Amino acid sequence: MAGDAIIDVRGLTKRYEGRAVVDGLDLTVNRGQIYGFLGPNGSGKTTTIRMLCGLLTPDSGSGTCLGYDIRKQAEEIKRQVGYMTQKFGLYEDLSIRENLVFVARVYGLDRVNARVDAALERLGLKERARQLAGKLSGGWKQRLALAACILHEPKLLLLDEPTAGVDPKARRDFWDQIHSLARQGLTVLVSTHYMDEAERCHEIIYIAYGKLLARGSVPEVIAQAHLSAWAVEPSEHNVAAVGNLAKALQHRPGVDMVASFGSVLHVCGRDLAALDAATTAERVDPHFHWRRVDPSLEDVFIDLMSRSQDNFQ
């Protein structure tokens, strides 16, 4: 599925009030792939996306997007990119069709009605075309926003936390649409905090406070973390006991990450021998059941966050 690079940037940097929000980012993106941007709030994901699509000029660094210079040819880039923001940005007092017709005219597109009809059909909006956008649920609003993004047939789609606040079924339907677009050759960059969404991407890119810390397929990123993991469950339901165990372990040498997932505790370390030595006494405690597990993407995410320095500090 990978093809020639449609994004190739080096040393991308953006500062605000002396703070590097994006700091020396190198990134190559191939055609027809879905790339997931992960990272804590304030990590530079949105700023990176805006620089790539020509909405922000980097302070330093260089590169191309869709064959155009990101510093000198921003207008050309914007004409071939679909950008979907976190917040619904269409008119709530217009119908679905009226919103799409308006967007098409803003772009100066030809065959407006034909394009709108095709977008309605493609995103499953045809039966709701007359419905006011303000009356739509979060999931249907996201479909409408996506339809507006692809009206001008972009080559690159940039999605900034597109499914925040929508229900699981709407998120799954939305992602089915994204994969359908990618199979047709559209390249997609999407920022998300949902691990199940990240796992649906061809590659993920982890950014923390302006720095690129990891990238690759989900199995590659998990392998790169070099984490070993134990899952710990109480012999009988005892939330307090799990909490006390977490507190006892979290600052112990050899234990790099402790996180609760319901009543299960994940205890991880980058040095397996040190991790096992640090937990020897607890692993023979009959009040808990310990089992070796493969680290999850969420384990890696939490571990990377714990090792990242907030550049506001």
CA distances from 180 to 98, 161, 300 (A): 25, 19, 29
Q: Which domains does the chain have, with CATH numbers?
A: 31-57+67-222 (3.40.50.300), 228-294 (3.30.70.100)
Smallest CA-to-CA distance from 303 within 265, 262, 256, 248 is with 256
pLDDT tens-place values along the chain, 313 residues long? 344 789 999 999 999 888 888 999 999 998 889 999 998 887 888 888 889 888 899 999 999 999 999 999 999 998 899 988 877 778 899 999 999 999 999 989 999 999 999 999 988 899 999 999 999 888 888 889 999 999 999 999 999 888 877 788 888 888 998 999 899 889 999 988 888 889 999 999 998 888 888 999 999 999 999 999 999 998 876 667 888 899 999 889 999 999 888 889 999 999 999 999 999 999 998 889 999 999 999 999 888 887 776 655 5
- The model's pTM is 0.84
Smallest CA-to-CA distance from 116 within 155, 145, 144, 151 is with 151
> Two tokens at 293?
């597990």
Q: At what angle do helices 168-183 and 138-150 cross, to 10 degrees?
A: 20
